[in-house]
Amino acid sequence: MWPINFSRSKCFPLLTVLCVALVVLSLAPASGSAEKEIPITKFSQNVGGYGATMTFMYCYSCGYRKAYDEYYNIIHEKYPEITIRGANYDPPGFNMYLSKILLVAKLAMIMVLMSNFNLFGFLNLRIPSWWQWCTDNKMYACMMVFFLGNMLEAQLISSGAFEISLNDVPVWSKLETGRIPAPQELFQIIDSHLQFSDKIEQNPDFVK
């Protein structure tokens, strides 16, 4: 059999096309809701007819998904007429775009390592010792790139947010207060904001 020899002129355009495709897919705005981007249970459930809607915007990478689920249960138990929604809070500024660029760079580096493509040789540069080590230990190097990239991405998109709004009116912000509200605090906010004594009946079986 004739040996297959891929020249630089063939390999480089292929890698370029793949990298560009990854960039486009990563930076393109999501067409779906945040529920599709991050699997969130109980994302939106209509539980009443009074039109009251409480929205939680929280930092998914900070582990606040569990706190959201707990608040969903206790609020739904005490005020079953309220519609409760939850979604990831996207960080402001360029952090989200930087995290996507980092994702593309991470995948591109793993692809180059696994494909045995001599990047520095193609650029007529001297191969550094650290790259030689990566090519000699592909699996270990790819794992390091993957986990280190994930850690940096999490730092970029970690907002620390746990924002609560009622009928599109902000009622609590962890970014401003520095903490998540206690359940009783949130109950007082709900009662004060909507005057539930006249509009919405509380669940008589709710255990305080």
Same domain, 53 and 154: no
At residue 206 the predicted structure's pLDDT band, cuts being 50, 70 and 90, is low
* pLDDT value, residue 74: 92
Q: Is residue 200 part of a domain?
A: no
> Could you identify the residue written with the tokens 């939106």?
44
Give the amino acid at 64: Y
Same domain, 154 and 72: no
Tens of pLDDT, residue by residue over 65-124, are 999 999 999 998 988 888 899 998 887 778 778 888 888 999 999 998 888 888 888 888
* pLDDT value, residue 3: 44
* pLDDT value, residue 51: 65
Of residues 173 and 155, more confidence is placed in 173
Tell whether the model's pLDDT for residue 7 goes beyond 50: no
The whole-chain average pLDDT of the chain stands at: 75
Same domain, 115 and 154: yes
Same domain, 113 and 147: yes
**pLDDT, mean of residues 135-160:** 87
Same domain, 78 and 173: yes
Q: Is residue 166 part of a domain?
A: yes
Of residues 79 and 203, more confidence is placed in 79
- Percent of the chain exceeding pLDDT 90 equals 20
What contacts 183, CB < 8 A, 6 or more positions away?
71, 74
Tell whether the model's pLDDT for residue 180 goes beyond 80: yes
Same domain, 145 and 98: yes
Same domain, 136 and 146: yes
Q: Is residue 127 part of a domain?
A: yes
Same domain, 62 and 164: yes
Q: What is the pTM of this model?
A: 0.55
User: Residue 130 is inside which H or E element, if any?
Assistant: helix 129-136
* pLDDT value, residue 19: 52
**pLDDT, mean of residues 165-185:** 90
SS3 93: coil
DSSP string, 66-123: HHHHHHHHHHHHH-TTSEEEEEE-PPSTTHHHHHHHHHHHHHHHHHHHHTT--HHHHT
What gap in Å lies between CA 113 and CA 102, rounded to an integer? 16
Same domain, 78 and 165: yes
Tens of pLDDT, residue by residue over 181-197, are 999 999 988 888 776 44
Q: Is residue 5 part of a domain?
A: no
Same domain, 95 and 154: yes
Tell whether the model's pLDDT for residue 27 goes beyond 60: no
At residue 205 the predicted structure's pLDDT band, cuts being 50, 70 and 90, is low
Same domain, 171 and 85: yes
Q: What secondary structure letter does DSSP report for 206? A: -
The dihedrals phi and psi of 96, each to the nearest 5 degrees, come to -65, -40
**pLDDT, mean of residues 43-67:** 71
Check which CATH number belongs to the domain holding 82 and give it.
Answer: 3.40.30.10
What gap in Å lies between CA 72 and CA 80, rounded to an integer? 10
Domains identified in the chain, total number: 2
Domain residues for 103?
91-158
**pLDDT, mean of residues 150-176:** 88
Q: Indicate the length of the chain as a whole number.
A: 208
Same domain, 164 and 151: no
